[in-house]
Amino acid sequence: MATIYINKENLFYNLNKISSINPNIIAVIKDNAYGHGIITISKLLKEFGIKKVAVRNNAEADIVKGFFEEVLVFNPLTNRNAFNISYAINSLNQLKKNRHPYIHLKINTGMNRNGIEIDEIDKAFEIILKKEFELKGVFSHFCCSEEEGTDRFIQYEKFKEVKEKVIKFCKEHSIKKPYFHIANSTALSFLPDTFDYVRPGIAIYGGIEGYKPVMSLVAKALHTRVIKNDGVGYNKKFFSKEEIKITTVDVGYADGIPYFKNGCILKNTKAVGKISMDYMAVLGEFKEVVVFDDIKEFVKNFDTITYDILVKMSPRIKRVIK
C-alpha cells in the first residue's frame, strides 16, 4: 500500500503565515482534513495551538471534539450535543428545528448556497431570543474570493453591515457579542479587515500559491520488467518500440488518483498507459515512486482543482507525520 506523508514543518509554516495576518484561526478540517487525515491533522493543529476548527458533520465533530475548545459543524443535525460543539445555522427553518444551544448564524451575502438572507436576520433574532440560544458566531462565505472583481467587495461591505446590525441587537438585549468570520484562504490576502477570526482551509494544506504543500504520496514498487515493441496496461494505450524498463507501483484510482488513459507527470518520472484500479505503471526502475509532493504541480495533469484530488485520497492509505 502507498503511504501519505504529512509535512509538519510545511503545515506549521502555513499556519504561521496565516497567523501573521490574523492569529485567531478557525481551521477548516472538514472531509477528513481535506484528505490529510482528520485525527493526524487535529493532533498537529493542537500542538501548534489552534483552539477552534470547523468540520462537515456531527460524525467528524465527535472524532475531534477532544482536541479543541470549539468545533463548528457546517452541516449539523438538530439534536443537542457537547458543550464545545457549535452548529452552523443555514436557514430559518433549520433555526426553528434546532435544539442545540450553541450556534453560529450563517448569512448569505452573495454566495446563494447556504445562509439566512439579510432581510431575515430580525426574524432569526426573535427565534434566538425565544429559544435562548447562545449566538457564538456570525459568518458568511465568499463566492469569488480568488477573482479580482466586484463580487468579493460587495460581499465584504454587506458583511460589515451585518456586523453592525448584530452588534446593535446584542446591545439592545444585553447579549454577549458574537465573533465574526468570513475570510477563507484566498480572502486572506485582500481583505481590508479580516474581522475577529479567519477561517482558512486549503491554505493550511498548501493547495494554493504562496503556501507550502503538506501532503506527499509515495507508492511502493511491486516489480520492474523490460518491454520492447510492446505496450503496457489496459488497451495498451502506451507502446514502445525501444527497449525500456517499466515499474508497477501499488497505487491506482481506487486510492484517489484521478483516472487517466495515457499517463501523467509524476515527481521524478511519468506514468504510462491507463491507470488501473490498484496499480500504475511508470517509466524506469524504482523501489518507490513519489507520485506527488506538491499538489499544485500534480494537478496540472488534470482538468480539476487541488481540492478535488486531496479530498479523494483514500482513508485506507496510512498517514505518517514527517
285 class by beta-carbon count within 10 Å (0-12 exposed, 13-18 middle, 19+ buried): middle
The long-range contacts involving 223-232, CB below 8 angstroms and separated by at least 24 positions, are 223/247, 223/248, 224/248, 224/285, 224/286, 231/273, 232/272, 232/273, 232/281
Q: Which of 97, 131, 171, 234 is catalytic?
A: 234
Tell me which of 30, 65, 136, 163 is the catalytic residue: 30
Cα–Cα distance measured from residue 33 to residue 76, given in angstroms and rounded to the nearest whole number: 17
Active site residue 296: no
CA atoms 62, 63, 66, 71: torsion sign: negative
Start-to-end CA distance of the chain, whole Å, equals 18
Has 156 been annotated as catalytic?
no
- Contact call for residues 294 and 285 (beta carbons, < 8 A): no
C-alpha dihedral sign at 68, 72, 76, 78: positive
Question: Which residues pair with residue 218 across a beta bridge?
Answer: 3, 290
What is the set of active-site residues? 30, 234
